[in-house]
Structure 1
Amino acid sequence: MSKRLSAFLLSFTAITLVSPSWAQEHDDLNAANNPLTPKITFNFQNYYTPELKGIDDRHANQFLLRGLVPSDLFGVPQLFRFTLPIATAPEFPRDYVTGLGDLTLMDIFVFPGKEVSLGVGPLVVLPTATDDALGAGKWQAGAVCMAVAPQKWGLLAGLVTYQASFAGDDNRDDVSLATVQPIVNINLSDGFYLRSTAILDFDLETGEYTIPVGFGIGKVIQVNDKLTLNAFIEPQYTVCSRDTGGPKWQIFAGINFQFALDR
């Protein structure tokens, strides 16, 4: 490569990276994917699992109704998050059962930082499942911790949760569950981005675990000053597991609606 061509490419890259339009698009992409962004958010997300480990010719599906509401209660920035699954799971001797899963509530206290922002808080799980196959049948409590580090090229984040049962159906197994979710986003042009957000599950009660990896693509659309749409699809493959009934692979897809707050 000639020196003249090398100089041109370096100059073009520098101009692109510092241009106001690219910088603004980059900030919009990071804000749309940042789990600590203080905007009212409604998520419609779905996990479709075509193959289950140890269960032949069966599939499963979990549609998530998820919301995020920012608050300054007691003068402290917080994010109240809820997740309600509508699930379909195999059940014997019937073929499948569909209904509500257990409702998860989080209250995340936000500590903004220049390079890394933190969020910590309690979580509770309510046994709202309409069938034993769709929930644990236990009241659970625990904690959530997350860290978010925006980068020049995208976003790095991590979400860790722990929950344990403290009441509920005595005939159901106790719960002691930890999850780890690494989040990596790489920003592209025209609102597109690459993503990897698979959740690692560790059942501390039984010793079972599931470790998937994911790679997908998404698109952020800034509809107006108030509304941002974020649509994505991310296939996830289980690379290591010790369980029965977990996904061999699954497809995670969804659309998120993010609303800016009036200040």
Structure 2
Amino acid sequence: MKRLLLATLLTFSFGILVAQEAETTESSSAAQANNPLADMTALSFQNYYMPKLSEAPDAAFMNTTWVRFAKPIAKGKLLLRASMPFSTLGMPNANNVVNTTSGLGDFNAFLSYNFISNETTTMGIGPSVSAPTASDDLLGTGKWQGGFAFVAFVAKSPVFQFGGLITWQASFAGESDRQSTSLAAVQPFYFWQLGKGTYLRGVPIWVLDFKKEAYSIPLALGIGKVVKVESTVFNLYVEPQYSIYVEGVQPVFQLLAGINLQFMK
């Protein structure tokens, strides 16, 4: 009887340890699914729907889909991220008929040197460049732009992770009849793991356009789901964002929806 009781207790204890280890592994995987500097090749599709723009007619809207590709280099010490936007801008004419312009935006890429990279904290900084690839003047700047990007991700807790992305760039070449640029963006991000791959999230982008004197400070809270299928991690999410301060032609409200794919080694 004592042997049976001892075996039962050992089996129960082993089961608890296995369950805790699985939960910790799952939480870690879910946390790293939102790490922009993760040492994994990644492909993401993000769509921003902006049905209301400040200082613009009521019927004006914008919809932008970003396609991003990230590739770690030099055993994860460097990360190259390239982004291409596809946009549709709707503006009403004098007869209140909405005319739409669709096409490519300006291509952007940055190379991050990860000077801190461990299981809980990743930080990187590096140069950023944008090329005037827009198919229409309304969808791009017409300028070559250069600057820097700084990104950090902290995952010391399996429940809460946070970080941020700060970028700045200014024009140095391009079409002479287009306005020069000086644009900064601050993107805080925060994630609460709810378990089983489900989490709450916020990744608003605070836009600071110094040349056009256009600014947008949104707050955000959405929900996401991380699912691992063999060697690919799928991260699906939807996130409403509302601007508490806007100046110039900027979104008052926008809805972010997307899917990120990480390809594990």
Asked whether 1:240 is paired with 2:245, we answer yes
User: Which of 38-47 and 198-207 deviates more?
Assistant: 198-207
Displacement of 1:113: 4.3
The structure number with the bigger radius of gyration is 2
Q: SS at 2:25's partner residue?
A: helix
Cα distance in 2 between the residues matched to 1:189 and 1:202: 36
Q: SS at 1:129's partner residue?
A: coil
Cα distance in 1 between the residues matched to 2:134 and 2:196: 41
CA contact (8 A) 2:54 2:246 kept: no
**Which residues of 2 match residues 1-263 of structure 1 at below 5 A?**
19-55=20-56, 56-72=58-74, 77-91=77-91, 95-111=99-115, 112-113=117-118, 115-152=120-157, 153-224=159-230, 226-244=231-249, 246-261=250-265
User: Which of 87-96 and 129-138 deviates more?
Assistant: 87-96
Segments of 5+ residues of structure 2 without an aligned counterpart are 1-15
Segments of 5+ residues of structure 1 without an aligned counterpart are 1-14
Displacement of 1:22: 1.4
CA contact (8 A) 1:155 1:184 kept: yes
Q: SS at 2:109's partner residue?
A: strand
Identity across the alignment (%): 37
Cα distance in 1 between the residues matched to 2:184 and 2:240: 22
Displacement of 1:148: 1.2
Cα distance in 1 between the residues matched to 2:210 and 2:59: 28
For 2:4, the equivalent position in structure 1 comes to none
The residue type equivalent to 1:162 in the other structure is W
Question: In 2 relative to 1, CA 213–169 (structure 1 residues): closer, same or farther, beyond 3 Å?
Answer: same
Residue deviations 1:23-53, cap 9 Å, x none?
Answer: 0111001110111101111101100011111
Displacement of 1:139: 0.2
Cα distance in 2 between the residues matched to 1:76 and 1:192: 27
The residue type equivalent to 2:123 in the other structure is L
Cα distance in 2 between the residues matched to 1:19 and 1:83: 38
Displacement of 1:67: 0.6
CA contact (8 A) 2:219 2:241 kept: yes
Cα distance in 2 between the residues matched to 1:151 and 1:186: 12
The residue type equivalent to 1:196 in the other structure is G
Displacement of 1:154: 2.3
The residue type equivalent to 2:257 in the other structure is A
**Root mean square deviation, CA, Å:** 1.7
Cα distance in 1 between the residues matched to 2:214 and 2:153: 28
Q: SS at 1:198's partner residue?
A: coil
For 1:9, the equivalent position in structure 2 comes to none
Q: SS at 1:68's partner residue?
A: strand
